[in-house]
Amino acid sequence: MTWLQILLVSFLVTLLLMPPLIRFLRRKSFGITVRAEVVEHLHKMGTPKAGGLIFLLVPTVACLLFGPSQEVWALLLLFVCSGAIGFADDFISYRRKNSLGLMARYKILLQLVPAFLFAWLTKMDSAIWIPFIPPLDIGWWYIPVAMFVIICGENSVNLTDGADGLAGSIFLTVIGALIVVAFLQGTISLFPFMFSLAGVVAGYLWFNIHPASVIMGDTGSLALGAAMAGLSLILHIPLFLPFIAVIFVVETVSVILQIFYFRRTGGKRLFKRSPLHHHFQLSNWSEAQIVFRFSLVNLLFIALAFLFIWV
């Protein structure tokens, strides 16, 4: 089976499995809860979440069929464990019938466990590619660096998942760039995971484009963020990742700036609401406009990164 066939099969399998998953989540009333002050999202109340469960299934099966290498085993461990933490968060908010799941500090503590295991399992190849100079072996510093990259990656996708189709669309541009890097490096052992993940996210977007029939939830966003960060580490390009995933970075920075500005000014806001896509929603951009424009910006930065940094 060729890599493009893996992508196509994953896409078609997702199209087949997503409708029964959505019906199951609806039957169980496993839907999102929207805070009353977020009036622009009240129409999403009850939309099934944890649709990201499908992300965990298809790439895992694809990797097992092709016989994963040690690095892919480490990646699967990180990917599935991160998705499981996200599902725990989704499940707790479902049981409480509000938007509050795991407390942020507990969620990060849990995320540190698979992040450490991944870093430990991949530490034997601890070289980091730095633009314009030869790769640098950072030795044992690789473990804290890898953990930091993973935690940032997971939570950046999580913060971006707030408009229909946004996180999935941006992730598709990023995984496409990572596939190109893997091809240039000849790291084809990652291809079953990467192409199946691209296919399943594309299939999910069929149901998530506005108006969304399902939301990936923390189950999906933490899994995708972990996959993105883990792949960048295996490919030795965590310093390249902020350029090809610039929207995820900007969304995260907007939250940090909002909190900092709020505290420094005694309650004033830098943005109408953060993360940044909410600011544009309150500036009368439609969700479709946000997804298209943000995806276009991310693609532009990917092109510039390959042109001026990678080449």
Tell me what pLDDT residue 43 has: 60
Q: Is 71 within a domain?
A: yes
Tell me what pLDDT residue 34 has: 63
Q: Is 209 within a domain?
A: yes
Query: How far, in Å, CA of 268 to CA of 262, rounded?
Result: 5
Instruction: Tell me which amino acid residue 19 is.
Output: P
Query: How far, in Å, CA of 220 to CA of 57, rounded?
Result: 11
Domains held by the chain: number: 1
Phi, psi of 154 (to 5 degrees): -60, -50
Q: Is 308 within a domain?
A: no
Tell me what pLDDT residue 99 has: 65
Tell me what pLDDT residue 41 has: 55
Q: Is 293 within a domain?
A: no
Closest CA to 60 of 77, 37, 44, 47: 77
Tell me what pLDDT residue 38 has: 57
Domain that holds residue 10: 3-242
Tell me what pLDDT residue 183 has: 94
Q: Is 171 within a domain?
A: yes
Cis bond upstream, residue 134 (ω within 30): no
Residues of the chain with pLDDT under 70: 1, 33-44, 98-99, 310-311
Q: Is 151 within a domain?
A: yes
Q: Is 206 within a domain?
A: yes
Q: Is 104 within a domain?
A: yes
The pTM of the full predicted model, rounded to 2 decimals, is: 0.94
